[in-house]
Structure 1
Amino acid sequence: MIFSFLAWGQASDRYKGEYANFYRGEELYEKAQYGAAREVFSEFTKSFQDVQDPMYVKARYYEGMAALELFNGDAIKLLMEFNNEYPESIYKNTIFFKIGENYYQSKKYKDAKEWLDKTDPKELDTAQLATYHFKLGYANFQLEDYASARNEFYEIKDGKSNYSDPALYYYSHIAYKNKAYQEALDGFLKLQNNSAFQKEVGYYIVQIYYLMGNYKKVAELAPEYTNNDNGIEKNTAEMNLLIGDAYYRVQKYDEAVAYLEDYNKRKETTRDQDYALAYSYLKSKQYDNAVKLFNRVTKENDALTQAAYYHIAQAYIEKEELNYARAAFKSASDVDFDIKIQEDALYNYAVLSYKVDYNPYNESIKAFELYLAKFPNSDKTENIYNYMVNVYSSTKNYEEALKSLDRIPNKNIKLKTAYQIVSFNMGIEKYERGDYTKCIEILKGVNKYDVNPMITAKAKFWSADANYMLKSWSAAINGYRDFLLVPGMNDLQLKENAYYNIAYAYFMQKDWVQAIQAFRTYTQLSNIKDKARLGDAYTRLGDCYFTKDDPDFQKSAMNYENALSYDGIQKDEVLYSLSKVYRLMPAKREAQITTLEKLLKDYPKSNFVIPALFDIASGYKNEGKYTDALINFNKIIQDYPSNILVKDALIEIADIKFKQKNYQESESYFRRVLKEFALDDVTCKRVTKGIVDIYRATRQQDKIVALGKEFPCAEISSDDEEIFFYETANELYVNEKYNEAITEINKYLKNFPDGRFAIQLTSYLADIYYQRDDQEEAVLYYSKIIEKPNSPYTEEALIRSSKILFNNEQYDQALPYYEKLIKLTSNSQVIYNTQLGLMRCYYLLEDYTKAADYASKVLENELLKDKELQEISNYIAGVSYFKSDQLQKSLSYLRWTADKISNERGMEALYLLAEANYLLKDYVNAEKLHNELMNRKPMDAVWMGRSFILQAKVFMAVDDLFQAEQTINIVIEKYPNSDDGIKEEAQSVKEEILQLKETPKDVEDNINRMIDMNDEDNE
């Protein structure tokens, strides 16, 4: 009781003395009534005089601290003045600390750091010390002084204060930034149950496991966090990326797809991220998606692009689209960022090139060679040699194949066999392209490795056949005979061809005796399949027996008769030839007429109809059957008024009338001949002689003299000037004294420009220049003949002029001559040749409609036997129909040409066939035809380039941009020429493809994940 009383008494005294206001202020300060406290302290300090008094000093301290608590603008000034006036004060450290806290609360971290750095932590109590370390650490953190911040957080992160967990969070965050992932992970794991940090630390934990490469842990934890409401934010793009990539790295590709796919749709992705999703697609058997996304990776020239191409190839293999797989393997093998990938890709590219038989640049063999050069110690070497043998055996790029084989030392039996086969095939290719001299030279290489005697034997045959085509008849015969002497040769067709061609070689040399023996040998062969050729052989036997020095008409007729039993030959010609033989056999005169009548009945459109009619009429005349003879001669005149035999028919009728003593009519017919026809000397003499005979028979001698004056060819007057000039010129021409003949012919033409023999001598003059190959002069004189009425020389003039003009590429001038000739002639061979000329002229003059029309006529002509002309005619028909926009009609001709011809025309035809299908929108056939063109050997660069461009357009038409780009890259990278416009066209197409491939994506902003810490969050 005494103590309590004394204490109360002392307290009461505090408020009565000189320190009363101090105590009242202190009481208010302790009750946090800072405004009132400051006023009381201010009154006290103003009224108290002893500035060194402890109470005064403490009052000044309280006044400043109250102002600081009130955030008064002069608070820091008051406290700084206090420290300056009382530098040894016990409150100095507390003031530093409180000013630092004040700046911290105002987020003035630089000032906060300055004052907290002045604070001596040793003078702070436990609670203040935790606050001090955190706020100084956080200020340093905000000022990006992470090392200092880390040190401060370290002091309290493992304590029990309210600042321990935040300090641990930021400490772990700094460790994360410094890539001290285990240290960061340890800290974040301690905070994962703290609701304030749960969402954020979950994200960090997953990310750290990811960065540490513990993808299995990420795959385990990430779904747990994303499915937990207290965990990290659900389904963020970043989280899906981590989960998807973790699944990808632990090879759980099915699970990876959904997460990576979501990120890919929502964010702008890197090539590595596209690669991961593409690879997951591949492993999840989503091959189309894999190809599209891998294709996005191939924008740079690096190892990632190489791997992407390799996986594109794998996807196409799974889809069994080997051509596309091959292209992708090629791209992967072109770079060496990853040698193992390059090796395997190069091997697979070469093997696929072989398997799909698709090597337009001979990539297969080149790839095998490159592989052996790059990887000589590979365990696949033996396999490659086996493939190379197969390629050599099937390739048509024979020259390169031989070069390749020559580069291989110590060839085994398979490679030697391949060498023999390639040499043989190259020789045959030269043969088919008409380079017969080169064919003979190359076929000699078959003997270098005589592994297969049958191939050697066939080389003998084709070498002989090449000589045959070169008209080296003796060499051809010897070659065929060498072939036939080879034992064991079982190719019956080649043997048959050899016998037949031996016979024809003798025939072409006019060695009738040897030809007869050879043709007979051929006809006695068994099992001849080509019956038309057998019929032709009998026909030539008939020709030989008829033409030889001692003709055997009986055997000639027998062979012609045998020929008629076979189809496929020109039976009208054989019948006509047989009739000529019968005419010379007295016992067969009646058979001659019968044979000719059969020709007229069975072949009414034959070119031999008119000659047959004439021969029938002549036969009746010779037998004295004048009525029948006149009927047939008149038929020629009436039905074929333009034919050259009309003149002869008129003469024969005149002669019959004379024999019938109908002299007036006879003279009328003879006069008609003289009037209507420009006659040669022989015919003129014959006609005038006939008239002379009439005048003699009718005793009109006075008319003979007049006839002689009218027609000097009658030689009535020996001193006739024109006859003199004519006979001189004619004799010189006949005796081949051409220089003098030219002079004398020109003298005649000068004196008698319209003379009876002007056309004949003009023809002689043209012929001389023609034989001298003075083509310009020859055409000049032939044109003079052509301008005159039709004569015996008109047809030859037209034939030769059109030929010269055509050969000189004067197609527009040759064309009218061909057109006139086709109307004039009745000769089947001339008709055929003229059709050819018209076809070619119209084609070369780009009149494709008419060119196509005449090409069709040529193809329908029975005389079209020559293989090369068949090829040209089909080619012109196809191209002309195509260029005249008759696409449907062009298809069959282009198809025939592509199938039959292996040279450039065949490649052009196949290309146009593909383009026609493309224009007709038949894209499937267009692609098939492109692939067929790529298999052509040897390949022409121009058509290959155009075909690849067309193929790219086909892919564009069906919206397959990947294949379109791959295809167009072949042209850009491989096409050998840079000045023909093909590369420019290809680049233009590629730019169009790249524009189509661009697809803009929507992206979302990154989320700021930093926590803003202040006192209110933690106190």
Structure 2
Amino acid sequence: MTKHLILLSGLVFCICTLQAQPSAIHTDPDAKFKQAEWFFNHEQYTLALPLLRELQQGLREPGADPQSLKTDEIYFYLYASQLLDDENDAVEPAKEYINSVNNQARVQELSFYLGDYYYRRKDFAKALTYLEGAGIANLSNDEIAKQKFELGYAYFSEKQYDKAKPLLDAIRQVPGDPHYVDANYYYGYIAYADKQFPVALDCFQKAEANPAYQGTASFYETEIYYFLGQKDKALSKGAAVLKQYLGSSYALELNRLVGHMYFERKEFAKALPYLEAYMNGSDKITREEMYELSYCYYQNAQYDKAIDGFKQLSDRTDSLSQSSMYLLGDAYLKTGQKASARNAFSFCADNSSYPQQREVSLFNYGKLSVELGYQNIALTSLKKFLSAYPQSTYAPEARELLVGLLANTSNYREALELLQGIQNPSETTQRLYPRILYGRAVEYINDQQLTEADDLLGKVLAAPYHDQVLAPTLFWKGELAYRAGKYDTAIRYLDQYLRSGRTGQGDIGAKEARYDMGYCLFQLQDYNQALGYFQQVARTATPAIGTPAVEQDAYVRAGDCYFVARDYRRAKENYDLALTYHWQGSDYALYQEAMIAGITNGNAKVKLLQQVARTYPGSRLVSESNMEIANTLIAEERFSDAIPYLNNIAADPSATTLKPKVLLKLGVVNYNLNKTDAALASYKQLVQQYPNAPEADEALANIKSIYVDLGRPGDYISYANTTGKSVSGSEADSLTYAAAQLQYDNGSCPDAVRQFADYIAKYPQGAHLIPAHFYSAECLSQQKKWPEALAGYDYVVGQGDSKYAEKSALAASRIAYFELKDIPSASIYFSRLRDYATSDQNQMEALRGMLRCQYALQHYDSASLVARDLLSRKGLSSDDKALGALVTGKNQQLQGQDDQAAVSYKTVISLNRGEWAAEARYEIAHILLDQNNLNAAEKAGFEVINKSGSYDLWVTKAYLLLGDVYDKRKDYFNAKATFQSIAQNASIPELKQLAQQRLDQVKAEEAQHSKIGDQ
């Protein structure tokens, strides 16, 4: 205070003196300069400036010497005062002075003041330029100290720490320096960065004297204590600082450090609030920080929060990721989320950082796969576990899980492959073997792979411990033999089944077996025994409109047995039931009743046959009825009356097989009506359109007879030549063919094939080309020479309708579809079979084949039309209905009719247990995903996996769908786990590649949304 008063008194004195002596100041430039200099030296720059400006003005008056030393001094003090008074106008003149005046002392001093000016303006780059140029020779000690600090701070601000360090070091060691505390603070920071922690600690402790530095210095002290291993001091200091400076800028980092120290001390409850505060205040955190926070949540039983953190750490294969996944799996288990726990253990099992965690995780992954129904993956993972850790404490439980898995699995294909690879199966495994064989055989049956199914069923019968599945195995052996036309074999197995006393297992039973037995015996013409079985089936239901289809048909077949036995009364009683209750086959029953009536009364027969056409206009028996009417009328020589019925058949596009007979009969009828020209026209039409039909030869003979009767043999010769049939005949042709036919009839197929080929080569226009190709194909088919056999059948089919066309189309269809897997060709042959088929059985097989081919070719629009035709028929199997519903659903889905498609797919599931059901389940899940119904889509996806485990394609696609569900939920952890599992384990290359692409996309999405900054 005394000093300030003295200065103030001096100032007043000076002012008074100035006022008292105005003439001296104004008249003596030297006095004015000295006064300004005095003010400058006493830091009175505001008072000095007016005087200096007057002196500057005087230098501009006439006679003034601009080169005098006084001039440089005046400008020096003027610019220096302006800079010290923060006048911006002085900057450029000061620079010019520094660059032009030849006075080193003044130039350096003014450089110091200009550098100080820039320093105060925080323009440190320019400040450095002029402070460096000031030197120290012409500066006072105080100015030198000030220069050092300002240079040091400017270097510090410009991050030139090496240059700043010695300057700040010099000042920090002078306690009396005005910048002593500041220098310690900034030097402490540099020492901290250079890991000179003791020096830095000393500096920050001194800097704490300034309240402005206290909080930050305390923060660095906390870190330094930690780095020096003085963790108790660090923890105490850090906690205290946070209480005092909670809202400061460094509180966030201090929360991290204090939380980390508590974490290291395993005081997780204390660490949690600090780490939580740090995460909440940070845009991004490191993986290690996320792990510590998540671990604290885990230890404090806040499992949901622990899960949110741990699942963000699945992106690497280091030890931190493995531990995170291990704990994540346990957290998911503790919260009942087994599916997610399984994914976590999968990640952990793929990481070898900690062998013990890997062992436990691989076991848990397999165990959870069993519990969640991932049967095929459970088999693989548990087998892998036992291979890697055969002596593990978990190995016994793993083996028990495998046994239980095989006992309850529906993944028979994988189970069978695994069992067949076991060299010395235990008794427990041997007991499972027949069940798995049987289950896989049923899958083959559902997928129409009947040969493979029959082979497995044979193995069931040969295996020990087959009692549990013996009865259904016998049934299916009989059923498959029946389908293959091996009726004696079918009867043997079905009889054993019926005698087994276990006829009520699954979807099969005594009724179905007796029904098959009846058909087999009927085909073997043992009508009496067949009748007994049909009656047993029929009696299981009282005749009514709603009588089941099997019982309906049994009544009708019993009628057939009576009919063959000529017990027409009882036959008619059975047929009457079909007519009364409008059962399937009622058109056939009416037709049969007409046959019965015709035995005694031709007119009654005709009336009933006419009723077939009126009552069942869409029946395939309409043309047969017309033919029978015509035959009856012709037999009664009512030729004119027969013609309309024959014409009806000729006009029916579906009656292709009857056309040759119709044309022949029209010729006969017209001939008997003396309509010779009409008769010739019918015969010639027959020869032209159906030259290879058996009726063609008879027609040609009748043509010859007519021309001879007319006395026109020449016309016949001319006509015969136009048909390519020489009048002289071809005895050699017939003899060559007959020789080949004899070999066929004797069962010598190799010789028959050779001789048929010789005949075909010698007689390319031969009369017997069609039967030659047909019988040759039959032999080649027996020899399993499928391509050669198919070529023969193809020739017959291509020649149009003949008595061999239907059989050839049937055989060609089966070879192309089942043996050669040539689906496009099979589709064509099944279509031709539909055209040629005369029996309902072959008609149904044609439609079934067409439907399967169109489905396999993904021609869902045309397949849906075939399905509509098939589903309109009677006597449908559950497979017919299932595949029909499947292709209908696929077509509806393509048309955007998702709700209707879902209904169709549910129908498939209710009817089928094979691959069609797997596909239907998947498509339902896909529809739900498209509708963004994620919960339902997830549930539906798991249904595919759990209920259709043997079908890799649909199971893998279901996993992909689940990955998409998780991705849409932004559950990146489970999405990654799902896609990664597919990419690593899928057996289908296209889906494996797709999974990898989706995995990369999900990883990119996760990185974009993650809290972790070092992904």
Q: 1:490 to 1:960 in 2, by over 3 A?
A: closer
Alignment partner for residue 974 of structure 1, among 971, 975, 985? 985
The separation in 2 between residues aligned to 1:357 and 1:797, in whole angstroms, is 47
Partner of 1:990: 999
Q: Give the secondary structure class of the aligned counterpart of 2:963.
A: helix
Q: 1:275 to 1:405 in 2, by over 3 A?
A: farther
The separation in 2 between residues aligned to 1:322 and 1:497, in whole angstroms, is 44
Deviation at 1:969, TM superposition (A): 0.8
Verify: 1:501 aligned to 2:497, yes or no: no
CA contact (8 A) 1:684 1:714 kept: no
Deviation at 1:247, TM superposition (A): 5.6
CA contact (8 A) 2:481 2:490 kept: yes
Deviation at 1:607, TM superposition (A): 0.6
Alignment partner for residue 397 of structure 1, among 411, 420, 438? 411
Q: 1:224 to 1:254 in 2, by over 3 A?
A: closer
Verify: 1:534 aligned to 2:539, yes or no: no
The separation in 2 between residues aligned to 1:776 and 1:407, in whole angstroms, is 41
Residue type of the alignment partner of 2:553: D
- Summarize deviations over 1:515-571 as a string: whole Å, max 9, x none: 344444544568999832223333333444555xx6555554455445657776433
Partner of 2:729: 725
CA contact (8 A) 1:815 1:838 kept: yes
Verify: 1:577 aligned to 2:582, yes or no: no
- Summarize deviations over 1:110-163 as a string: whole Å, max 9, x none: xxxxxxxxxxxxxxxxxxxxxxxxxxxx999969xxxxx9xx99xx9xxxxx99
Deviation at 1:327, TM superposition (A): 0.6
Q: Give the secondary structure class of the aligned counterpart of 1:706.
A: coil
The separation in 2 between residues aligned to 1:343 and 1:683, in whole angstroms, is 81
Partner of 2:132: none
- Summarize deviations over 1:414-457 as a string: whole Å, max 9, x none: x7765664454345445545312432244247634x7xx54444
The separation in 2 between residues aligned to 1:506 and 1:1003, in whole angstroms, is 77
Alignment partner for residue 613 of structure 1, among 598, 613, 626? 626
Deviation at 1:323, TM superposition (A): 1.7
Partner of 2:371: 355
Verify: 1:329 aligned to 2:334, yes or no: no
The separation in 2 between residues aligned to 1:381 and 1:775, in whole angstroms, is 55
Residue type of the alignment partner of 2:516: N
Q: How does 1:373-452 map to 2 (within 5 A)?
A: 374=389, 376=391, 378=393, 387-398=401-412, 401=415, 403=418, 421-433=435-447, 434=449, 435-444=452-461, 447-448=464-465
Partner of 2:317: 301
Q: 1:712 to 1:877 in 2, by over 3 A?
A: farther
The separation in 2 between residues aligned to 1:490 and 1:905, in whole angstroms, is 26
Q: Give the secondary structure class of the aligned counterpart of 1:935.
A: helix
Residue type of the alignment partner of 2:709: I
Q: 1:561 to 1:733 in 2, by over 3 A?
A: farther
CA contact (8 A) 1:506 1:514 kept: yes
- Summarize deviations over 1:595-616 as a string: whole Å, max 9, x none: 4344334322101012223324
Q: How does 1:271-282 map to 2 (within 5 A)?
A: 271-282=287-298
Verify: 1:604 aligned to 2:604, yes or no: no
The separation in 1 between residues aligned to 2:794 and 2:469, in whole angstroms, is 55
Q: 1:651 to 1:333 in 2, by over 3 A?
A: closer
Deviation at 1:582, TM superposition (A): 4.0
Identity of aligned residues (%): 19
The separation in 2 between residues aligned to 1:458 and 1:824, in whole angstroms, is 36
Partner of 2:251: 236
CA contact (8 A) 1:875 1:909 kept: yes
Q: How does 1:757-772 map to 2 (within 5 A)?
A: 761=768, 763-764=770-771, 766-767=773-774, 770-771=777-778
Deviation at 1:306, TM superposition (A): 1.5
Q: How does 1:730-879 map to 2 (within 5 A)?
A: 736=741, 761=768, 763-764=770-771, 766-767=773-774, 770-771=777-778, 778=792, 782=796, 785-786=799-800, 832=844, 835=847, 849-862=861-874, 864-865=876-877
Q: 1:793 to 1:884 in 2, by over 3 A?
A: farther
Residue type of the alignment partner of 2:872: E
Deviates more, 1:734-743 or 1:503-512: 734-743
The separation in 2 between residues aligned to 1:881 and 1:521, in whole angstroms, is 43
Q: 1:494 to 1:649 in 2, by over 3 A?
A: closer
Verify: 1:480 aligned to 2:489, yes or no: no
CA contact (8 A) 1:545 1:556 kept: yes
Q: RMSD in angstroms over aligned alpha carbons?
A: 6.0
- Tell me the TM-score normalised to structure 2 length: 0.63
CA contact (8 A) 1:439 1:463 kept: no
The separation in 1 between residues aligned to 2:834 and 2:441, in whole angstroms, is 40
Q: 1:254 to 1:265 in 2, by over 3 A?
A: same
CA contact (8 A) 2:435 2:469 kept: yes
Partner of 1:960: 971
Deviation at 1:319, TM superposition (A): 5.7
Q: 1:537 to 1:345 in 2, by over 3 A?
A: same
Deviation at 1:861, TM superposition (A): 3.6
Q: 1:215 to 1:721 in 2, by over 3 A?
A: closer
Residue type of the alignment partner of 1:613: N
CA contact (8 A) 1:246 1:256 kept: no
Deviation at 1:328, TM superposition (A): 0.8
- Tell me the TM-score normalised to structure 1 length: 0.63
Residue type of the alignment partner of 1:609: V
Q: 1:228 to 1:776 in 2, by over 3 A?
A: closer
- Summarize deviations over 1:720-763 as a string: whole Å, max 9, x none: 9955516775687578358999999999987xxxxxxx8x6554
Verify: 1:704 aligned to 2:709, yes or no: yes
Residue type of the alignment partner of 1:857: D
Partner of 2:944: 933
The separation in 1 between residues aligned to 2:848 and 2:274, in whole angstroms, is 70
Residue type of the alignment partner of 1:725: G
Q: 1:894 to 1:287 in 2, by over 3 A?
A: same
- Summarize deviations over 1:371-415 as a string: whole Å, max 9, x none: 69738564x7776566445422321334654647997999797x7
Q: 1:489 to 1:876 in 2, by over 3 A?
A: closer
Residue type of the alignment partner of 2:323: A
CA contact (8 A) 1:531 1:567 kept: no
Q: Give the secondary structure class of the aligned counterpart of 1:613.
A: helix
Q: 1:925 to 1:824 in 2, by over 3 A?
A: same
CA contact (8 A) 2:295 2:306 kept: yes
Q: Give the secondary structure class of the aligned counterpart of 1:610.
A: helix
Q: How does 1:151-166 map to 2 (within 5 A)?
A: none
The separation in 2 between residues aligned to 1:266 and 1:745, in whole angstroms, is 90
Q: Give the secondary structure class of the aligned counterpart of 1:998.
A: helix
Q: 1:562 to 1:1002 in 2, by over 3 A?
A: closer
Residue type of the alignment partner of 2:439: N
Q: Give the secondary structure class of the aligned counterpart of 2:369.
A: helix
CA contact (8 A) 2:591 2:625 kept: yes
The separation in 2 between residues aligned to 1:988 and 1:610, in whole angstroms, is 61
CA contact (8 A) 1:765 1:781 kept: no
Q: 1:442 to 1:488 in 2, by over 3 A?
A: closer
Q: Give the secondary structure class of the aligned counterpart of 1:447.
A: coil
Q: Which runs of 5+ in 1 are unaligned?
A: 1-100, 110-137, 144-148, 157-161, 696-701, 751-757, 1005-1019
CA contact (8 A) 1:436 1:467 kept: no
